[in-house]
């Protein structure tokens, strides 16, 4: 059974560089990185030393406050280097891959006879528990909590996002197994959202054992937080879990094969990408593995993720644990003569009618990182509400986070959002403020004060 949800607000950013639906390369990394910063709420304790041998699925670190939550290696090989920052903060563990990809054998399991405790134990031992995200606040799921429900978005509307039907269509069986397993961890069931544009053609529309929801709308319609706000809004005291389709497929493979297999198709995209396409890779893949896609004579920014919410990791960085997209975009350092005062700027996209981009709705643009201005006084406009398809008042929530007013943050919807849900506010903000950072700071304050 399914129902259709129409979202009237949002914005699709017409940026060049969508990946062709083909795999052009299998990346066998020399080194893969595990970064504690990929897991919000993790206080890492290192379980290995430099020189130790590991298999795919071997524990590398755990959470100090909850040691049963493990972070495991995505590849087999040797612990090459432990990177630390100020005050010996753990930044990353680099694992030199041996190319064999040998894995810990957790044993194949039929989901049907398993109990919730059996499922929980296997996910914790394999390290895949860290892929479950708990809302509010977007932290790692607490094994002691039984969530109201579990939510999954089976499509992504972010700029140049990977096509899940192509990237994961051949793993629909594993996705079904993952849903069957997760359904045992909640009394409220599993909810899966699909895009109305390709609902009937999606390999995931025949999923069983979950409530299906059909979403119609522009970005951020594919954000699971937006979907939750229209299906079952999070109230104070309630807890829900979310899991990405990529991690869900890995959970299914764990039960079907007994291996922790985090391999995935990664979309290499962006205006600075030459012949953008997909590569087979693992999380922690070095950006140097996709440097061949970069256009020549172009100063490129390497983003793990999409242009709105991804992390600028640099040419020496690594693919994030949850990411299945790399965006290559030019650094916009050139100054423009006259700038906004030019009467005609055909190469720029505008969300308003300031330029003539509204006359060519199907045109895509060669965008770069130029902000076309700097931070200035906060201007209260309705542009935030126009791109936020949730029953909240984004401008008031942002102001409450700036003021550190917990009561107002609760009143205006801090329990329902993560920074990614207001990422478009960054893009349309005439004041050039970092809205996602403001929301993130507000969430950190809530965690500190409400713990």
pLDDT tens digits, 84-122: 999 999 999 999 999 888 999 999 999 999 999 999 999
Q: Average pLDDT in the 137-157 region?
A: 97
Specify the pTM: 0.95
Percent share of the chain, pLDDT over 70: 97
pLDDT tens digits, 186-203: 999 999 999 998 888 899
Is pLDDT larger for residue 382 or for residue 178? 178
**Residue indicated by tokens 């909590």:** 145
Q: What domains sit in the chain, N to C, each tagged with a CATH number?
A: 1-28+107-342 (no CATH), 29-97 (2.40.50.100), 383-450 (no CATH)
- Tokens, residue 365: 């643009």
pLDDT score for 20: 97
Instruction: Give the separation between CA 186 and CA 143, rounded to whole angstroms.
Output: 11
pLDDT score for 51: 96
Tell which residue, 12, 277, 278, 16, has the closest CA to residue 157.
12
Q: Average pLDDT in the 3-12 region?
A: 94
Cβ(74)–Cβ(283) under 8 Å? yes
* 3-state SS class at 2: strand
Cβ(170)–Cβ(131) under 8 Å? no
pLDDT tens digits, 391-425: 999 999 999 999 999 999 999 999 999 999 999 99
Question: In this model, does residue 373 exceed pLDDT 90?
Answer: no
Per-residue confidence band for 342, with pLDDT thresholds at 50, 70 and 90: low
Q: Average pLDDT in the 124-139 region?
A: 97
**Residue indicated by tokens 């995935």:** 264
pLDDT score for 1: 46
Instruction: Give the separation between CA 326 and CA 293, rounded to whole angstroms.
Output: 11
pLDDT tens digits, 425-447: 999 998 999 999 999 999 999 99
Question: In this model, does residue 21 exceed pLDDT 60?
Answer: yes
- Tokens, residue 367: 């965008």
Question: In this model, does residue 345 exceed pLDDT 80?
Answer: no
Is pLDDT larger for residue 337 or for residue 108? 108
pLDDT score for 171: 96
């Amino acid at each position: 059974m399914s129902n259709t949800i129409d979202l009237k607000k949002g914005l699709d950013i017409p940026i060049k560089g969508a990946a062709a639906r083909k795999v052009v390369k299998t990346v066998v990394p020399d080194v893969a990185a595990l970064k504690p910063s990929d897991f919000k709420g993790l206080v890492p304790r290192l379980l290995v030393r430099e020189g130790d041998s590991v298999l795919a699925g071997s524990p590398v670190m755990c959470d100090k406050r909850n040691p049963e939550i493990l972070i495991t290696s995505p590849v087999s090989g040797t612990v090459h280097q432990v990177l630390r920052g100020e005050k010996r903060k753990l930044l990353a563990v680099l694992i030199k891959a041996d190319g064999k990809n040998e894995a810990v054998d957790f044993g194949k399991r039929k989901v049907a006879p398993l109990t919730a405790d059996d499922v929980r134990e296997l996910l914790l031992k394999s390290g895949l528990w860290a892929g479950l995200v708990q809302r509010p606040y977007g932290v790692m799921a607490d094994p002691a909590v039984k969530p109201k429900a579990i939510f999954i978005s089976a499509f992504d509307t972010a700029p140049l996002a990977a096509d899940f039907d192509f990237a994961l269509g051949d793993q629909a069986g594993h996705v079904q197994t993952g849903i069957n397993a997760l359904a045992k961890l909640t009394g409220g069931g599993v909810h899966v959202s699909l895009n109305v544009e390709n609902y009937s053609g999606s390999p995931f529309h025949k999923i069983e054992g979950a409530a299906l929801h059909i979403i119609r709308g522009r970005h951020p319609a594919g954000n699971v937080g937006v979907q939750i706000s229209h299906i079952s809004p999070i109230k104070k005291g309630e807890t829900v879990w979310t899991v990405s389709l990529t991690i869900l497929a890995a959970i299914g493979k764990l039960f079907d094969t007994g291996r922790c297999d985090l391999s995935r198709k990664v979309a290499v995209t962006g205006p600075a990408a030459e012949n953008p396409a997909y590569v087979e890779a693992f999380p922690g893949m070095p950006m140097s593995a996709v440097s061949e896609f970069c256009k020549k004579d172009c100063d490129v920014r390497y983003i793990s993720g999409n242009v709105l919410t991804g992390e600028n990791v640099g040419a020496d960085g690594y693919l994030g644990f949850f990411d299945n997209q790399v965006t290559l975009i030019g650094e916009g350092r050139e100054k423009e003569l006259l700038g906004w005062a030019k009467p005609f700027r055909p190469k720029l996209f505008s969300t308003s009618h300031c330029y003539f981009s509204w006359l060519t709705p199907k045109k895509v643009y060669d965008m770069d990182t130029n902000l076309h201005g700097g931070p200035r006084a906060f201007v209260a406009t309705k542009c935030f509400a126009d791109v936020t398809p949730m029953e909240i008042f984004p401008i008031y929530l942002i102001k409450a986070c700036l003021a550190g007013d917990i009561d107002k943050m609760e009143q205006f919807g801090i329990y329902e959002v993560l920074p990614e849900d207001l990422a478009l506010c960054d893009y349309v903000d005439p004041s050039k403020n970092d809205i996602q950072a403001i929301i993130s700071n507000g969430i950190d304050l809530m965690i500190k004060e409400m713990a």
